[in-house]
Amino acid sequence: MHQFIGLVGTNSTNSTNRQLLQYMHNHFADQATIELMEIKDLPMFNKPQDRKIPAKAQAMADKIAKADGVIISTPEYDHSAPAVLMNALEWLSFHIHPFVDKPVMIIGASYGSLGTSRAQAHLRQILDSPELRARIMPSSEFLLGHSLQAFDDDGNLKDEQKAAKLSGLFDDFQTFVEITKKLSNANATTYQEVRDLDWANL
């Protein structure tokens, strides 16, 4: 059974993105283990000269490194991923590199009708950056619009079509994880390239 991290891409106490990951944690419990990970307690990234990583960020990196993959649920603010999520990814690419070649699935929930399409596109660019180099599952947007009305009292998705699509995408992600394991020939050199990046000049 796969072990996944469900990264909550917000610092909001009441978030439908957290609710979406909780739904996946419960709904797919017989297929995989999904551990929710919060980012709200991280300090603001400031590129410390002593390269000291906050204990919270290091603990997050250790769990991500051990996981088979990461599912990130992002809100959309001003057509982009929220600053708190970018802050977490900055810490998770500062002399620690748990995302190198790590399979990632991106999902998102939004109060509006469009879901989080622009935020997901933005997040893909960030995760594909030289400092992170994650492996993002292609053609796999899951956009949950009108998310305040999307769940019933038990935390299940009301829309059967949306639930079916998410199930299909989750199956695809598990396949993507297995395929990614075979794409490991350049992993060592890719990881070294990322480690060799000179943060002083970034």
First to last CA, the chain: 39
At residue 202, the pLDDT reads: 52
63 token code pair: 């769990």
Residue matched to tokens 């990614």 = 180
The CATH homologous superfamily of the domain defined by 2-201: Flavodoxin domain (3.40.50.360)
Rg (CA), the chain: 16
Q: Quote the CA–CA distance of 84 and 10 in Å, as a whole number.
A: 6
At residue 154, the pLDDT reads: 95
Sequence ranges of the domains in the chain: 2-201
Which residues make Cβ contacts (< 8 Å) with residue 138, sequence separation at least 6? none
Q: Quote the CA–CA distance of 190 and 147 in Å, as a whole number.
A: 38
Q: Quick check: pTM over 0.95?
A: no
Q: Are 180 and 116 in contact (CB under 8 A)?
A: no
Query: How many beta carbons lie within 10 A of that of residue 178, not counting itself?
Result: 12
* CA-wise closest residue to 132 among 87, 106, 102: 102
Tell me the torsion sign for CA atoms 121, 123, 124, 126: positive
Which residues make Cβ contacts (< 8 Å) with residue 195, sequence separation at least 6? 95, 97
At residue 198, the pLDDT reads: 58
- pLDDT per residue, tens digit, the chain (202 aa), is 999 999 999 999 889 999 999 999 999 999 999 999 999 989 999 988 888 999 999 999 999 999 999 999 999 888 889 999 999 999 999 999 999 999 999 999 998 877 899 999 999 999 999 999 999 999 888 999 899 898 999 999 999 999 999 999 999 999 999 999 998 887 888 878 888 775 555 5
Tell me the torsion sign for CA atoms 7, 8, 10, 11: negative
